[in-house]
Structure formats: structure tokens, C-alpha cells
Structure 1
Amino acid sequence: MTGERRDWPAVSLDETYRILTAPGAPFEMETISVAGRPVRAYKRAHRDLRSIFEASKAWGERTFIVFENERLSFREHYRAASALAWRLADDYGVKKGDRVAIAMRNFPEWPIAFWAATVIGAIAVPLNAWGTADDLAYGLRDSGAIVAIVDGERLARLKSLPSDDSSVPLIAVRTSPGIRGETIALEDLIGPPSHYDALPDRPPPDRNIQPDDDATILYTSGTTGRSKGALGTHRNIMCNLVNITFTGARAAIRRGDPLPAPPDVQKAVLLPVPFFHVTGCHSIMIPALANGSKVVLMYKWNAETALELIERERINGMSGVPSMTWQLLESPDFERRDVSSLEGLSYGGAAASPELTRKIAALFPGKFGGTGYGATETSSVSTSNGAEDYLARPDSVGPAVPGCDLRVIDDAGNPLPVGAIGELEIYGANVVKGYWNNPQATAAAFRDGWYRTGDIVRMDAEGFVYLLDRAKDMLIRGGENIYCSEIEDALLAHPDILEAAIVGIPDRVLGELVGAVVRARAGTRLIQEQVIEHLRPRLAAFKLPVHVDIRIEELPRTASGKIVKRQLREELAAKASAPG
């Protein structure tokens, strides 16, 4: 097994980076100016999304998207997206810089909508399809979208709102006539999927896209108030496209092997996470179009279905959250399915137990798990850990990829020495401009190009990052960011609740579960079921607490009046794990 080689590492980490980023090397760097600041960028990166889209024609009849029994080739995708781009420009007046929203499940039409918008210089606005009707309407209003492409479920939610809350022109995907009503269907614009291949083979309108033009607004929840839209550029996304390929090259040099050659057969990836996440969009869908890979979609995550697809589609890799990997490996179907095509399993977005990478290495000799650290604000990947490095440091999210600079700072923003504990800041060509239409939040999170992550870390002498805690008041359930203040505000709307605190309950599969501690008004009889029913119409289902601890006494507070959540977290975790 590769990971057992006693002479590893053959090359130091510093020397590996020097080799891979030197002049003429695959990850050669150059210093450019972005917004008046010097930024290190990859010299050989694509310049914009349109260049990837045009190059994708070369993949021709290769399968790009698989969804259940449907298959969409690269050629069909190119023609459909180009046809939609023309209709958006001609029928809806979409201009460079206009916002086009997308709200749907992972259907094959999702990438068609995304590329149709971005290749004509519009800004794609992927909305969280798990959100409520009000969440969707907010995204449309805040982004100023001039058109939205939605599936039947999202259309029904929007139609439930007053007309002035959902007045954006809509294009319906996979929607029955009864729900669609007068809404234009995508098929009315570009024809049904069976006719995509017969569409004209012509490029979309040329809008002279530049690398630092705006490309996406991806909403990420804030600790207070409404979601914030991270405004990303073409350059941000192109930097990430190179970042995600670095781990394999680094591993090869570290073990003294030559760089891996480009694959001579098509690779296949299983995508169990939503396209509207930065992982699904920036780190799976966009690289697949660039590299000619096949992306296999799932209507809904299910470990047994995933194993069936791995066997049927000869899946080489899956990128999700740690909980999905655990469920896959521990499924009763795991032993009877042919998973020999898998070359690795990667995960992120939530805490991963060191046990997971060791389990993968044991089940797949010579192959490895992979993890990393990133954020919507960093266009996905900022650090990566894989191969022997991950086995050696299974509790680390890895060192920075070449396109990123990292530093650890104190509360005042001063850099700290190696090994000190503080907040992680990130700088690089992958860091977004800021938050759309929100200068106050932008000023708080971005300083001279550095993004303040809100995560508490330490970094060792070689640059490996270890996540310790979150400064931002949030928890992560199965890869979904859940901001505590939103649930706390909903709890405090109950007339019999005086105080409320949301904390994470550790869970091996999902990382964290939502736990609530509330102080009830004296003389009332409040039970958990009443609290949940109060929250149900106010919150998305994944934000509902699985355990509610109801108290009469005041919640513990610091001298400054802040609730001591660390204490509550420990108390609630103990109660939740107690038998009975």
C-alpha cells in the first residue's frame, strides 16, 4: 500500500510547492493586480467561464450529465445552453451584469441555466432550493434578478406568496401544466431535451467578458439578519478550478513519483450535494465541463442508491459531506456492490473524524480519502489534505493551495506566530469581492483583500491547518450552515419562552445536530413537541432542533451578559447521549 512506504515523504512540502509552481511548471504563478492589490495567480488558468464553455464542444458525444434514466451529452448541453442564452438576451433583455436566478433541484437543466447566464456576462444567482418561499423571494429581491429559472416545487412556493413578493419573470422547468399556469416553460423557449441535439450549433452572444467581471452571487447565511450574497468573479472561479487539481500533483511529488498524466478515459463523479452550493457548482460542475467528466446526479441522497450508481456508472469519485461517506461505507449494501472503480472519496463542509480517512484507507488499499477547507467567500477550496499527508495528519484540513495565502490573527487583527490559536484569514485570487448590496457586512468580513473566516484554528510549522472552533455563531449539520440567531429569534417569538440558545450536539454521521436550550416563563407547562410545532412553519426542516432542553432557571451568562454556550453545549450533549 502506498501509504505504508517508509521513505515517505521523499520530498519536503516546501520543495514540492517550489517544484510545482516554478516557471514552466503546471502550477506556475504570476503576480497580477486585482482591485489595486497584488495577487498571486495561476499563469495557465482559464480566463473566464465562457472560454471553458466554448472548449467543451470538443467533448462532443461524451455524456456530461446523468440523471436517473436521462443522459445529456456535452454537445446537447452546449446547444441547449447557447439557445437559452440567446433567448435570455433577446426575449428577456438580459445584459452583461444582469442577474439570472436559478432555483431547482439538481436537474440536468440546472447547468444549462447556469452556463446560459454566465457565458453572456450575466451574473448567475443560485438560490437555496431547500429554502422557504420567503427565502426564495428574498433572494430574488436582494439580487435584483430580472428573470428566474425554477422547477415545479420552487414555482409552487413562489406562487404561494403575494404577487408583489414574486413578481420576477419566471421560466419553469419540469413543471406540470396545473402548477405552471401561465408561466413560460423552458421547453417553450428551447424545445424538449429530445430535440437539444437538433438545435443550432452557434455560440452565444459575445459580451466581451473580462476575468474580473462578476459571475456569481451565492448566498451564505449571516449570523444576524438575512443571508448575504457572496459576489464572485470569473477569476475567482478559474483560480478554484486550478486549486482543486493540486492535491493529486502534490501527493505524487511528495512520494517521489512523476506527475500523473491526464486520464485517457472519461472520469465519472457522483454528486450528492446541491449545485447551489459552492462545492457542487464551482468544484464539481464547472471542472467537469472543463475536463470532460461525467457527473451523475441524485434526486435525493440515499446511500444504497449511491452504491447502485457507483456500480452502474463506474464512478471514480464522490464529493460530499463526511456524513454521506460514513453512510456509504456502513451501508448493508456496501459489501455486495462493485465499488472497484472508486479512486477516492473526498468530503468537506463539516467536521470529519480522523477515523474516517483510516477506514477509507483500510477498505480501499492504495487509495485515500480527501478533505479540505473552503467557504463560499473563497470560491470553494483554500486548503486541501489528501493521500499520505492525510493519513499522517488525519485531524488537519491540510495546508494552503498555491492560490491562497493564510494567516492566523488575534481579536485585533494582528498576525500571530506559528502554533498560536486565533482566527483564520485568507487572501488570494479566489477570494470574492464582497457581499452583494451589503457594504456593512463586506467591511466587517473583508480587509485589504483578506477574508476573515470566523473560524478558530492553529497552523503548524509546515502550514497544516487545524480547525478548533467557530467564532461565528453557527453549527454545521451534514454540510449545511445553520446560523443560531435565526432559530433563536424564532424561539423567542413564542410567548412562553424568555431565553433561548442554540448549540450543536455532536453526531458522528451528520457532524452536528441542532439542539435548543430554552427558559420557559414561570407558571407555564412547555414541552418539546410544542416548541417544535412553533418552529415548524418558521424554519426549513433541517434547522429544527432534535432535542429541546426546557428550563425554568436563567441560562448561564458571562459577566458581559453573553450566554455561555460552551457550557450549554456540554450539558445538552450529555443529556442527548444519556440512555432512555
Structure 2
Amino acid sequence: MTEAVDIQAMMDRVVAGLTGPGAPFEQTVEPVLGTPIPVLAHRHRNLRELFDVSLTWGDRDYLVTEDRRISFAEHAVAAGALATALARRYDVGKGDRIGIYAANTPEWVIAFWAAQCLGAVAVGYNAWWTPREIAYGLEHTTPTVVIADAKRAARLADSGTGVPVLTMEQDLPALIAEYVGDIPRAEIAEDDPAVVLYTSGTTGRPKGVVHSHRNLVAVSDYHRFTDALMASFTGQPLDGPSDRRYLVTLPLFHIASLHNLVVPRLATGAAAVFPHGAFDVDRVLRLIEQERVTNWAAVPTMASRLLEHDLSGYDLSSLNALSLNSAPSSPGLQDRLRDKLSGVQVALTTSYGQTESGTAATVATPLELAADLECVGRPIIGVTVEIRDPFGAALPDGEEGEICIRSPYVMLGYWNDDAATAATIDAERWLRTGDFGTIVDGRLRISGRRTDLILRGGENVYPTEVEYALEEHPAVHESVVLGVEHPDLGQEVAAVIVADPGTVTADELRAFAAERLAYFKVPARWRITAEPLPRNASGKVVRRDVEP
């Protein structure tokens, strides 16, 4: 215990040296949307300025796949040319939305940065959405143009949209070749919107989370800070590019990959490495070996699949950091990973955050996990976490309540939904997470996620959205959707259907749901009954009394 305390004290001294007056990460307090918030005194004011920084990295790898390698310089040329093409051909300007509907590719990233050069808003649509779901997204954010891979372009055609669609395979290369030249520059304020990413909504429709230029620059500065912190401990210089190589196995329409892996690399000069296709353990491990990957941010489902694989045939010696994100990870899973990766110098970390929080609100380092395996760590630089009672009053250490977060990373709000924004962010810019936990000795423990939320393999599934879709079937009187434990996914989706005997089968309902919902939302388990669902005095279904 003495050693742990000494290491923590040493870390506190290093942090103080990096964040004090005159230091590279000096902190100050400034008004952010009318509320005093701790921010870095020396920072870029928008993503276009961060884009300029990337030019200094030149021929260093930025985007790497199994068969492609794009340098920072090449990326800047492509993004600038695409931005020029979008402005001249499609009249895209500041504040216009540019939809991106695709699997992970370098073109996804290039499209994102083209939007930032124009002061436009990139909208990352969920690549697993069905035509019905993408039609909702298009209506919701009204993009001027959509950039899609061929598979999703076909899906867009099925949705009946009249929005111009540019394919990544054919249209983008032609436009980039035609418009190579100067890189556009728009006047952009810190709190202008930069990106919209969707999160499933409790009211049955996905909500568009809006992050500002301030949010994404601050996230990038957080990653610069963690690099500097490590450099201080190892005696490395604080300036210059990073030699880390980050594996990107989560979709770019999530903050884990876009905000926390791809965007910060422009500030640090490190590479982002993308495997092709769906997650495959062998393919990922071969790529780690081939590209000497150093850092991997995975969801617990990926980690559990890794545990089932024989690692003896792979050289994983470059891998020195594995973080578990997007869903809670059990102490048992963490222990099994340490045993499995015992021959690799991996620093295992876990974290807590939401799409709305922009990045992790807390991170549990190996030091923190050694002290408390069930914690999700301490607040990161710039974040304040409070545990509050139902009336909004802060609770003392050890008492359970709602987790509330305030930081320069927290979203602007929900796109075109003032009521949902007001219900989630209060007048002092505190984010009400809807999750519950406790703080003990400065460490956060999660005691419960949102009551109804299902966490399936790192994807959020809200039962209301699924229930609304199921209840469109003429044979369904009512339904309830629940999360049930699953050894690989953490949870899977189960549905209890109330219908007249013999009027519908599980196979029919599964096909019906698949036409309306992304695959991960379609229930895997079904129970069809003629018995009404249990309800309370106010008429609400009592989910805890429903047997899946």
C-alpha cells in the first residue's frame, strides 16, 4: 500500500508540474456557454487549427489499413480537395450538414476533415442502420450531401432520399483528383457545432449528440496531456510526434474511435490502424503484429473473444496498452486478460463515459485497479464528477446517486431537441448521465446503468425503440424488451410479446424487426404469450416482474 501511495503522490507532482502557471497544460477558468469551466490556457480554438498542426507531421503515417498507407500530408491534400469540391459542386458552407454513412475507411476520416475545413457539421450515421432508420436520420439532420460506401449507397437508394449521394469508391477519388489545390478555411468559433453522432433514445428514436469544436479540441488536448504525462515518467521529450500506433476496431460513428483515436492523432502525430471488415480475432492479431500496434481500445466483447483464441502464434510484443471501453468490464474479465496476456507488457485500463460526455469522464489506470478492481477510476483532467440525489443536491462520499459530469468535453446538446437537452444538461452545464454510482477515495464505482438500457457487445439498445417497432406488427398487442446475460456479448436482447394464440411466430417477428432495426437491436430470444404484461398503478409495465 505504501508503494501505491508513493506512486500516486509522484503522479500528482508530475500533473501539477504540467498544469501549473506557465506550464504547457496550464489550466484556467473561463466562461463556456455562460458557465465558468476549467480549460487549458494555451489551446487551439477550432479543428481547422488542429488540421494545420497535422501538416507539420508530413510523411508520417496517419491512416493505415491492411493494404493502404496514407500520410498526414496526403490526408491533408485529399481533405482539402474534397472540401473544395463540396463547396463548389454542392454549395456546402458553414453550418451545413455533411452526412457520412459507411463502414470504417480512410475516406470516412477524409470526409470528416473536409467538413471541418468548411465549418460544416459532419453527421456520422450508424452504418448498421436499415433504410427505414437512415431515412429518419436524413430527415432529422437534413444533410446537404451524403458520403457513403457502395453498400450503404444502395441502402440510401432504397430509402428514397433525394439528397445527393457521393460514393467513396468512385465519386470521392474523382472529385479529389479534380480539385487538388488550396485548402479552404472558414471562420469558426469554439462553440460552433462540429459533429453529430447518434445515440439510441429512451423515447424510441435515436438522438443526435452535437459536439463542438471546443469539445473535440479539448479531447485532443487530453490525449496530448496523457502523452506528456507518460513522457515525464519515462524521461522522454514532451515535444515532437508520438510513435504510438492505435488500433481502431470500433466504428467511426462512435466517440471511442472518432473523438478519442482518429481526431487526436492530428495533435500527436501518431498513426491510426484499421482492420478490414467485421471484427475477427485472427485478422486483428495479425495486424497488430504487422503494424507493430502499441495501443488498442476494445469493448469487453472483443476482449472476451480474444480470451478464446490461441495467442502463441502471434508476435504481440509491441502492444503495451489495452483499454476497455463502451461497456462495463467485470473484474473477472480483467483478471483473465492479465493471465492471457502475461507475456505482453500490457497496461490494462478501463473507463466510464457516454457519447454525451465526449470522452471518458473517468479512467482507471493499472494503479487504480490494483487498489479497487471494481472502480472505473478518477476524473480525467478538466472533468468534475458529482454524485447527486433526485433533487440535484450533491451527496457525500460513499452514498449512491446519479452520476453528474461537467467539463469542456460535454456535448452542446441534442440536435433539434431542446426539451431533451434541457432534461439532460442543467443551467450550470452539468450533464445528468442517468447512471448511478458512488465515489470513494476519489474513485468512481458504477452501481447501475440506466434502468432500461441494454448493452449488447458495446452497442446501446434502448427497449422503447425496439418495442415501438415490434408493436407495428398487426398481431402484437404489446411487448416488452429486456436485456439478458450473454457470455460473449455481455447482454443480448430478449422480447416478450403479447399476442392471440397462433397469430404470429418468433421467426415472423424476427424478420419483421430486421426490416426496421439494425441487426444488434433485433431480439435474439422470444417469448410469445396471451397473458397481459404486469403493470403498476400508473399503468406502466413493471419490467422487473417480466420473465424473458
Same fold (TM over 0.5): yes
- The one-letter code matched in structure 1 to 2:446 is L
Offset from partner CA, 1:507-536 (integer Å, 9 cap, x none) = 233221111222333x43654323323322
Offset at 1:63? 1.8
Q: Provide the rounded CA distance (Å) in 2 between the counterparts of 1:476 and 1:154.
A: 25
Offset from partner CA, 1:106-147 (integer Å, 9 cap, x none) = 111111111011122111111111111122222222212111
Q: Provide the rounded CA distance (Å) in 1 between the counterparts of 2:40 and 2:103.
A: 33
Native 8 Å contact 1:358 1:391 kept in 2:
no
Offset at 1:370? 1.3
Could you tell me which residue of structure 1 aligns to residue 527 of structure 2? 549
2:100 to 99, 102, 124: 102
2:222 to 237, 240, 243: 243
What is the correspondence of 1:103-502 to structure 2 with a 5 Å cutoff? 103-162=101-160, 166-174=161-169, 185-191=171-177, 199-200=180-181, 202=182, 204-244=183-223, 257=233, 261-262=237-238, 266-298=243-275, 299-332=277-310, 334-362=311-339, 363-364=341-342, 366-448=345-427, 449-460=429-440, 462-471=441-450, 473-502=452-481
Offset from partner CA, 1:258-297 (integer Å, 9 cap, x none) = 6764587622111111111111110000112221212111
Provide closer, same or farther for how the CA distance between residues 142 and 337 of structure 1 changes in structure 2, counting only shifts above 3 A.
same
TM-score by length of 1: 0.87
What is the correspondence of 1:62-101 to structure 2 with a 5 Å cutoff? 62-101=60-99
Native 8 Å contact 1:499 1:518 kept in 2:
yes
Offset at 1:245? 5.2
Could you tell me which residue of structure 2 aligns to residue 178 of structure 1? none
Q: Provide the rounded CA distance (Å) in 1 between the counterparts of 2:509 and 2:149.
A: 32
Q: Secondary structure at the match of 2:379?
A: coil
TM-score by length of 2: 0.92
Provide closer, same or farther for how the CA distance between residues 370 and 260 of structure 1 changes in structure 2, counting only shifts above 3 A.
farther
Q: Secondary structure at the match of 1:216?
A: strand
Provide closer, same or farther for how the CA distance between residues 469 and 294 of structure 1 changes in structure 2, counting only shifts above 3 A.
same
- The one-letter code matched in structure 2 to 1:409 is R
Native 8 Å contact 1:307 1:328 kept in 2:
no
Offset from partner CA, 1:326-380 (integer Å, 9 cap, x none) = 2123313x12100010011112111211123323333246532111112221112
Q: Provide the rounded CA distance (Å) in 2 between the counterparts of 1:536 and 1:87.
A: 37
Q: Secondary structure at the match of 1:336?
A: coil
Offset at 1:405? 1.2
Provide closer, same or farther for how the CA distance between residues 424 and 304 of structure 1 changes in structure 2, counting only shifts above 3 A.
same
Native 8 Å contact 1:247 1:384 kept in 2:
no
Q: Secondary structure at the match of 1:186?
A: helix
Could you tell me which residue of structure 2 aligns to residue 575 of structure 1? none
Q: Provide the rounded CA distance (Å) in 1 between the counterparts of 2:529 and 2:106.
A: 49
Q: Provide the rounded CA distance (Å) in 2 between the counterparts of 1:392 and 1:252.
A: 24
- The one-letter code matched in structure 2 to 1:349 is S
Q: Provide the rounded CA distance (Å) in 2 between the counterparts of 1:260 and 1:37.
A: 37
Q: Percent identity?
A: 38
Q: Provide the rounded CA distance (Å) in 2 between the counterparts of 1:470 and 1:142.
A: 27
Q: Provide the rounded CA distance (Å) in 2 between the counterparts of 1:567 and 1:248.
A: 49
Q: Provide the rounded CA distance (Å) in 2 between the counterparts of 1:472 and 1:89.
A: 45
- The one-letter code matched in structure 1 to 2:425 is F
Number of residue pairs aligned between Structure 1 and Structure 2:
541
Native 8 Å contact 2:438 2:446 kept in 1:
yes
Offset at 1:409? 1.7
Q: Secondary structure at the match of 2:36?
A: strand
Segments of structure 2 that go 5 or more residues without pairing to the other structure are none
- The one-letter code matched in structure 2 to 1:82 is G
Native 8 Å contact 2:499 2:529 kept in 1:
yes
Q: Provide the rounded CA distance (Å) in 2 between the counterparts of 1:395 and 1:356.
A: 11
- The one-letter code matched in structure 2 to 1:459 is I
Q: Provide the rounded CA distance (Å) in 1 between the counterparts of 2:168 and 2:402.
A: 43
